[in-house]
């Protein structure tokens, strides 16, 4: 078979490990050929390809980002987009696609599969919010980066008697905030799943100062105050209808300063969380996903997504990945409140 591979959406540590595993097993064990599609769905849409072989995928395991490039192109928002994809696949002699991405990329893959394209999905997102997999690769790396930042910020918070806020990614799900906050010993963690009371946050800040420690607050970019709205950078939407988030940390710092009189500052981690080399956990998970994805393709098990269930890599219906978002269970969040304040 001749199999196309693409990576879509935000970049994520571990993408190259998936590509490497797919090509290594696919070429060596099954004798398949590969074509890399550039920049997510833009590749098959515009016929942008690059060679993918044992040679071109050597040395990429520890590299962050994706050698294929990525984009947030949505072919279903482009006139004749789906027909163009089908034509280009036929022109390049592609029998099937392996699509590596999050809810947007896999949402497109699901719709294309329903229209007759042979697809296997691989779940990626640092946000860990894809349904029907216990973890996505990229999440562990992002959490480790955030924890390192929190560890470093503790010293400034203590030395300057400041409240320090760390804003992390997480549009609808607070997985990064919760895991990084718990691992970094945050005095308060704020996630999109649970609207927060600024008054309560200020109480926790005051109580932390009383104990002669300085508070660190970890907040997800999509966290929402009880009497307010999500804070966005501007009102522009991408082709999947998402607004650009960021700013809730600065907003909260101003509220804390004006309500408690204590200095408060915010560090926004932004794309630093997605950059650089993947953790060992993510390299292994991404590699296992890649190996299972190419086996699924070899067996013609189309319309499936590879997933982690417990410690096993399994195949689940591709459509189930985007049925709903995997949010932080409130019991887990509530349990962590014992450490707040
Ligand atoms: O991939 C998901 C994500 O990490 C979200 O948490 C975040 O809101 C978004 O990407 C930002 O991505 P970009 O800056 O590339 O649009």
CA distances for 177 relative to 197, 218, 274, 282, angstroms: 17, 6, 14, 18
Q: Which of 11, 127, 129, 140 is catalytic?
A: 127
What's the rounded Cα separation, in Å, for the pair 33 and 239?
Answer: 31
> pLDDT digit string (tens) for 15-72?
999 999 999 999 999 999 999 999 999 999 999 999 999 999 999 999 999 999 999 9
- pLDDT of 228: 81
Cβ-Cβ contacts under 8 Å for 92 (sequence gap 6 or more)? 2, 4, 35, 47, 49
What is the model's pTM? 0.95
User: Is 95 a known active-site residue?
Assistant: no
Bridge pairing between strands 312-317 and 304-309 = antiparallel
Strand partners, 305: 121, 316
> pLDDT digit string (tens) for 148-170?
999 999 999 999 999 999 999 99
What's the rounded Cα separation, in Å, for the pair 61 and 280?
Answer: 10
Domains of the chain are 2-137+278-322 (3.40.50.450), 141-275 (3.40.50.460)
- pLDDT of 237: 83
Angle 205-206-212 from CA coordinates, rounded to 5°: 95
CA of 10 to the centre of ligand 1 (A): 6
Strand partners, 120: 98, 304
Q: Where are the alpha helices (DSSP H) in the chain?
A: 15-28, 42-46, 81-91, 103-114, 139-160, 175-184, 198-210, 248-260, 280-298, 330-336
pLDDT band for 122, please (50, 70, 90 cuts): very high
What's the rounded Cα separation, in Å, for the pair 51 and 39?
Answer: 14
CA of 127 to the centre of ligand 1 (A): 8
* Beta carbons of 238 and 171 less than 8 angstroms apart: no
Mutate which of 123, 171, 180 for ligand 1? The one with the most ligand atoms within 8 Å of its CB, which is 171
């Amino acid at each position: 078979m001749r199999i196309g591979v693409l990576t879509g959406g935000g970049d994520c540590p571990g993408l190259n490990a998936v590509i490497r595993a797919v090509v290594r097993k696919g070429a060596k064990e099954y004798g398949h050929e590969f074509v890399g599609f550039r920049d997510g769905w833009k590749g098959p849409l515009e016929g942008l390809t690059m060679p993918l072989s044992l040679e071109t995928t050597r040395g990429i395991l520890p590299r962050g980002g994706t050698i294929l490039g990525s984009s947030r192109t949505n072919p279903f928002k482009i006139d004749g987009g789906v027909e163009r994809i089908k034509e280009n696949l036929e022109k390049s002699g592609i029998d099937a696609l392996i699509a590596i991405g999050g809810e947007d990329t896999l949402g497109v893959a699901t719709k294309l599969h329903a229209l007759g394209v042979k697809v296997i999905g691989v779940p990626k997102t640092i946000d860990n919010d894809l349904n029907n997999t216990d973890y996505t690769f990229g999440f562990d790396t992002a959490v480790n980066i955030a924890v390192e930042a929190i560890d470093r910020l503790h010293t400034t918070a203590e030395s300057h008697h400041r409240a320090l806020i760390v804003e992390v990614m997480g549009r609808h799900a607070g997985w990064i905030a919760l895991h990084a906050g718990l691992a970094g010993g945050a005095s308060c963690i704020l996630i999109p799943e649970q609207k927060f009371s600024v008054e309560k946050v200020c109480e926790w800040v005051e109580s932390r100062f009383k104990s002669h420690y300085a508070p660190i607050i970890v907040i997800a970019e999509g966290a929402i105050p009880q009497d307010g709205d999500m804070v966005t950078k501007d009102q522009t939407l991408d082709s999947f209808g998402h607004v650009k988030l960021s700013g809730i940390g600065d907003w909260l710092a101003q509220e804390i300063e004006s309500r408690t009189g204590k200095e408060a500052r915010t560090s926004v981690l932004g794309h630093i969380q997605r950059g650089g080399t993947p953790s060992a956990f993510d390299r292994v998970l991404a590699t296992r996903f890649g190996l299972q994805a190419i086996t699924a393709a070899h067996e013609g098990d189309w319309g499936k997504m590879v997933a982690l269930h417990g410690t096993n890599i399994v195949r689940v219906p591709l459509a189930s990945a985007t049925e709903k978002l995997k949010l932080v269970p409130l019991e887990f969040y509530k349990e962590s409140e014992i450490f707040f304040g």
